[in-house]
Structure 1
Amino acid sequence: MSTSETSTSASTSETSTAEARAHGPQRRTVLGGAAAVAAGFALAGCGSDDDKSDEPKDRKKGEKITLTFWSWVPGIDKPVDLWNSKNPDVRVRVEKVSAVDGAQYAKMHAAIKAGNPPDLGQIEYAVVPSFLIDNGLLDLTKYGVGDHKDKFIGWQWQQSVFGKAVYAVPQASGPMGLFIRRDLFDKWGVEPPATWDEYEAAAETIRKKGAWIETFSATNGNRFAGLAWQAGARWFGTQGDTWTVSIDDEPTRKVADYWYNLVRRKLIKTIPDRQNAWYKDVQTGAMASWLGASWGDALLVGNAPKTSGKWRVAPMPQWKKGDGAYANWGGSTTAIFAKSKYPKDALAFAVWLNTDPESIKLLIENGYGTPGAKQGYATSDLDVHKDFFGGQEYSKVFGAASQGVDTSWKWGPATDTLYQRLGDAFTAAIGDGGSFRSVLKKVQGQTITDLKEKGLKVEAG
């Protein structure tokens, strides 16, 4: 589930919800330059094990221990309770952390710095590299994580692989689609847009009817990254032991220009998504669609129950009709922190949580995205809110989108900071009428500076 290392979540007076979580058919391997990436991290001291004062150890036979697990996943308590009922010697205690504006990551980094992090934490794919900078995560290879590789979808597994090291166990991803109010689209004679040109035309029609097609949420850098991903952007790369930063590349400029045009023409709102005003618009029909991820089904169900039966899911619009290019928004891992005293037990729990059929069933019921596991569920199991979507087998849309995600996209260090930079710059641009292209140029420079300050070699891509 995504949620929001960088995203915001909200609850409304109507109902409360748990916080929720590119280009072309070619599917290349993520982190193809992983060895170089690992070398780049090493420049900042990553992987150092000089501190022997608190080394991991094996649990003695019959010894009872408690592992701490920080997470924001809705309903995570249920699978954890199931684990505890089956494993009385290795209990897991969940501590819920806020996923608003990256609060959970700030808390995790602070705990690492203080020397008292939890044993396990939910960390989104995009920010795993950030934790490697401060030696926060444990390399799981020597604890047998490789024995479980084939249990997980390849590209999700690779998101936490750097060189030969594996730093987390996949949980779920968030392939993107277009949630639409089918009743309103039909009423206004609007077809689900197959292209971004058609999306703009639909925005014009819907605005004339007094509603809005969507919002451009300035603070949601995570979703903007997904839109750029679909267009063929490559924000991060490696050349030898040097990181390259290309946020201000042509595909991202195309995306920025597109949304700037919608904002400039007042065809789209600019309120933050997944906050109270946005939920009210979703509940009332003032907003007729949402470019969201697979985990968004639970978010809509939880916050707009009176709209049940009126929603459908359509594929994400394409830059060119028939391209089949999609994107991913969010997705999480279960990571083990470097200070965990019982890494073998922590790893056993992380693998069980994300592969055991009973656990997956509980996670699906509470809306956590598209599972990272290859087995343990059927595609139809993901249609847990089928009635809300008018009987549509909507998971098929997200399944097809997952196959079209360009897996050559690479996350870089300090992505959580990058999202904050984007949020600040987009908010300022909307406020003063500045171009969105200027945002890219500014954030590109800031990101290069941020990485250099972390001791990494970096240059503009």
Structure 2
Amino acid sequence: MNTPFRKPVLAGVLAAALALAAGCSGDKDTPGPSGSAGGKVELTFWDWDPNMDKVVALWNDAHPDIHVTVSNPAGGDQLVAKMITAHQARNGPDIAKVEYQSLPALVSNGVVRDITGYTKQAVTNFDAATLRATTFEGKVYGIPQDVAPLMLFYRADIFQQYGLAVPATWEQYAQEASTLHQKAPNVSMTNFDAADPGWFTGLVQQAGADWWTADGTTWKVDINGQASKKVAGYWEGLVGNGTVLKNPSFSPQWNKQMNDGSIATWISGAWAPAQLGGIAPGTKGKWAAAPLPAWTAGDKTTGIWGGSAVTVTADSAHPAQAAQFVSWLNADDTAVAAQVENINVYPASTSGRSLPILQKPPAFLPNQPDFYTVVKSVAPSARSFSIWGPNVTVTFRGYTDAFGAALQNGTSFGAALDTIQDSTTADMKKLGFKVG
């Protein structure tokens, strides 16, 4: 059985980069006092979770000497780019949410700080498999926030209206998509999103792909391998027969389609219920969640989309206080329960996964009281890549360019993977990595 996360860094691969980052961190890993000689400490927190301000308010009420202000400058990969730019200008935030796949690049660029000395108690709240996503060369660079197995969210009312079965396999998913297309040509099963690679990487993870592997200091890149091309070919077929849309997720057009019933399913992470209220506010109570369809009947393997850590940046003038907040946010049961209630995370902390609040459904899915039970059942079989590459941002940009062109020009999805393979490999060699 796969664990949610496997070790993202092999011995020696990022040693030089980590040494550089440690040299830029500016602290000696010695916990400091909660306050400062100057009085009240002000911290900035970059985060894209809706309602995170409600969680942060609990901290501010209980800690008058350390005030946290949360803002949402961007999400996911866009936030990573903003963090790097802000760090270069030495005006980054104190604290930032970072998706697991982006953390190695931020560590190697010296953007986030080694917080090992500040978090020795906090990390005892997490199992070893989860901590591997935020630990490099034995040093902690973030506290895990959530686990995000890929799942199938579907409009229960649309499935009932057109007599569709919840698909257990991808073959059945394609059959149900065809049936829906025949019965309701104006309703599509889903969309193929060329703008955000997160869902697609989760799908190829489920199929067994490892886009990066490393042996000592030698890397291997396998973005266009057999498993990935199987997934790409499957979706090229659905796009080609018109059963799925071509437009990107999180666009105004997609939001409208999700809200008016033009889209019947969304392949997303376990965090989806928190986003649906902003995407499709008129559909509350109409969605349900199920395990991701399998390539082989009975196989419980799924991938991940997202899952994040909360980090302290190298630019923070108050790393001890920032680490204190980060530890509270993701290791304190009261804070974790507030995140479940307001953000619908599936907690990364071990104790958080047994909180009583998980017996209640997310507010947007009141019709599915067993939602977190379903998440808990699929999370142990979620797999990521065995290692995320050092230039994920280049790979993700390549995905957007190559698949966007394939959708526009009607060209091969397999060829798009070849293009991403070539650009990623060339960039790694340019950066000085040995690619075998």
Question: Does TM, normalized by the shorter one, top 0.5?
Answer: yes
Deviation of 1:133 after TM superposition, in Å, equals: 2.4
Name the aligned partner's letter for residue 117 of structure 1: G
- What's 2:93 paired with? 118
The reply on whether 1:69 has 2:41 as its aligned counterpart is no
Q: Which residue of the other structure, out of 371, 379, 382, is the alignment partner of 1:405?
A: 382
Which residue does the alignment assign to 2:370?
393
Residue in 2 that maps onto 1:241: 217
Q: CA deviation at 1:208?
A: 0.8
The amino acid across from 1:118 in the alignment is: P
Q: Where does 1:218-367 land on structure 2 (aligned, <5 Å)?
A: 218-367=194-343
The alignment status of 1:91 with 2:62, answered yes or no, reads no
How many residue pairs get aligned? The number is 431
Greater relative contact order (Cα < 8 A, sep 6+): 1
Q: Offset at 1:52?
A: 6.5
Match of 1:449 in 2: 426
User: What aligned pairs does 1:177-192 form with structure 2 within 5 A after superposition?
Assistant: 177-192=151-166
**Deviation of residue 160 (structure 1)?**
1.2
The aligned amino acid for 2:418 is K
Amino acid at match of 1:405: A
Indicate which of 123, 131, 140 corresponds to 1:157.
131
For 2:4 and 2:340, how far apart are their aligned partners in 1?
Answer: 28
Letter in 2 for 1:342: H
Which letter maps to 1:374? T
Map 1:44-59 to 2 at 5 A.
46-47=20-21, 49=23, 58-59=32-33
2:111 pairs with one of 136, 148, 157 = 136
Cα contact 2:42–2:68 (8 A) shared by 1: yes
In the other structure, the counterpart of 2:179 is 205
CA contact (8 A) 1:29 1:407 kept: yes
Q: 1:65 to 1:310 in 2, by over 3 A?
A: closer
1:431 equivalenced with 2:408 (yes/no): yes
Contact 1:56-1:339 within 8 A present in 2 as well: no
Cα drift, residue 303 of structure 1: 3.3
Identity %: 31
1:434 to 1:137, Cα distance in 2 relative to 1, 3 A: same
Point out the more displaced range, 360-369 or 268-277.
Answer: 360-369
Q: Deviations over 1:72-115 (max 9, x none)?
A: 22112222222122212222222321227x33222210111122
Q: Aligned equivalents of 2:16 and 2:413: distance in 1?
A: 30
Judge conservation of contact 1:40–1:241 (CA < 8 Å) in 2.
no
Runs of 4+ off more than 6 Å: 50-57
Tell me if the contact between 2:30 and 2:118 (Cα under 8 Å) persists in the aligned partners: no
TM-score by length of 2: 0.91
Match of 1:6 in 2: none
In structure 2, the gaps of 5 or more residues are: none
Quick check: 2:99–2:308 contact (8 Å CA) kept in 1? yes
Aligned residues of 1:69 and 1:94 also touching (Cα < 8 A): yes
Moved more, 118-127 or 363-372: 363-372
Deviation for aligned residue 1:376: 4.1
Question: CA 1:164/1:342 → structure 2, altered by over 3 Å: closer, same or farther?
Answer: same
